[in-house]
Amino acid sequence: MDRRLVVYIISDSIGETGEQVVKAATSQFLCKNCEFRRFPYISDEDQIIEIMNEASRENSFIVFTMVIPSLRQILIEKAKEKNIIAVDIMTPITEALEKTLRQSPKNEPGLIRKLDEKYFKKIEAIEFAVKYDDGKDPRGLKKADAVLIGISRTSKTPLSMYLAHKNIKVANVPLVPEVPVPKELFDVPNKKIIGLTTNPIKLNEIRQERLKALGLKNEANYASMERILMELDYAEGIMKRVGCPIIDVSSKAIEESANIILEILRENC
């Protein structure tokens, strides 16, 4: 029977990298009796000594990903004292990068994990913006970090997507005189609601261009000044009723409007 091999994976972070590397390596051998023991978030010398004492009693070797220099040095010294093979996965790569980039490493555990979390939060916010765009599902209003309200062509969707890339979950609700406002809107704290308005002349131009793109006549009610003024009037009444701040987006780029919204949200947190 093969003697059991115990691989100790030690890390000052979660230890996933070390485990994946050592499993890839052992797959190249007929190692039927291998056991992998992961020890994450190692932060002091006593923990390292305890692991070394355990490892010394077995047929073992150590794989480690320690970015904190002092802990890494202790681990190397203790492994040498116990005559245990210890493989440093991170240092050769970080040293090569240090020479190539001419930068010093941050030596901070778990950075890759933080980057992954940030990425997944962004994806979650983007999916949220798509799901709750244009008032599709008013149940999302209570879950949102911010709710944008305004009439058609006031940049609700582009702003929602831009803010989603900043990890902000945004729902938006179109204000149309003939369509009742979802009752859920009035359950959202007004500090989370942002009203969007615009210059009627500018909006008239935008809507006429929209009609052209759709192959429709400019005389359609959608682009008439009378209709636009009525919609703006109606929207202003809703915004006053809600008690939310109002941003005029008519002469602002998306980035500029988004920065104003972010500032409002920061102030209201």
CATH number where 61 lies? 3.40.50
- Distance between CA atoms of residues 231 and 174, nearest Å: 11
What's the structural domain count of the chain? 2
Contact 70, 78 (CB under 8 A): no
Residue 1 has pLDDT above 70, yes or no: no
Which residue in this structure is represented by tokens 């500029």?
Answer: 256
Confidence band, pLDDT 50/70/90 cuts, at residue 219: low
User: Quick one: 219 and 140 in the same domain?
Assistant: yes
Q: Which residues pair with 6 in a beta bridge?
A: 35, 60
User: Quick one: 104 and 146 in the same domain?
Assistant: no
User: Quick one: 121 and 242 in the same domain?
Assistant: yes
User: Quick one: 169 and 242 in the same domain?
Assistant: yes
User: Quick one: 183 and 226 in the same domain?
Assistant: yes
Please, what's the b/e burial string for 27-66 (b: 16 or more CB within 10 A of its CB; e: otherwise)? Answer: eeeeeeeeeeebbbebeeeebbeebbeebeeeebbbbbbb
- Distance between CA atoms of residues 141 and 185, nearest Å: 7
Pick the last residue of a domain from 109, 133, 154.
109
Pick the last residue of a domain from 67, 88, 109.
109
Give residue 183's identity as a one-letter amino acid code: K
User: Quick one: 155 and 172 in the same domain?
Assistant: yes
User: Quick one: 76 and 126 in the same domain?
Assistant: no
Contact 89, 63 (CB under 8 A): yes
User: Quick one: 79 and 121 in the same domain?
Assistant: no
Q: What is the pLDDT of residues 17-63, one digit of tens each?
A: 889 999 899 888 877 788 999 999 898 899 999 999 999 999 999 99
